[in-house]
Structure 1
Amino acid sequence: MLFGDPNEVRKAEQELDNLRIKESGHVYLYIADFRSLMSRIRDWGERAYIHVYRRVLASKLLDQLASYPVNFDTPQELMDITLELDTIYHERQKEKGSH
């Protein structure tokens, strides 16, 4: 952020570092917060965002990601896949609960 307030950028970096998936466990909420903070930082590289994003994912998602033969080049690619996997997981949990 070239002309932005450096304190605002540092604050956003700290918030991103402390960001966690909320109690509901739904990734889409984490993604929304993550994207908002990314837009306030802007100058991190893609790999740094991917690293920070992955570190708080639940083991069930990390296990499923391990089966993907692809290395993610952008945070968006990783977000898209984790959102899809998380949606499938929660739909399956609903199905199991309704039987």
Structure 2
Amino acid sequence: MAQVPQTFFDALAVRAWCGLALEALGRAREEIDAINVYPVADGDTGTNLYLTVESAAAAVEAVFEGHEAGAATGAGAAPGTGPTLADAARAMAHGAL
């Protein structure tokens, strides 16, 4: 029997995505800092993205551990690109958690 593709993110998918995104950003962080195309050329775009995903991943883990997850509001978003990424993650979470 063919598998039906999943058309939504469930909590486990969001958890996996956060972990994979954090690992990928950890590897690419310095390269993204060097490119630094958005929003201001201040050399920390990769770092801000990494810190934002790190905060989101911690919030997701807190949910799985049964703790309250205030960081799901974007409270840990780093300046610049961080809030933009937090908004995207928050939008995904509305359908996932």
Q: Give the TM-score band, short-chain normalised.
A: 0.3 to 0.5
Give the TM-score of the pair, scaled to structure 2. Answer: 0.33
Which protein, 1 or 2, shows the higher relative CO under an 8 Å CA cutoff with sep ≥ 6? 2
Structure ID, larger Rg: 1
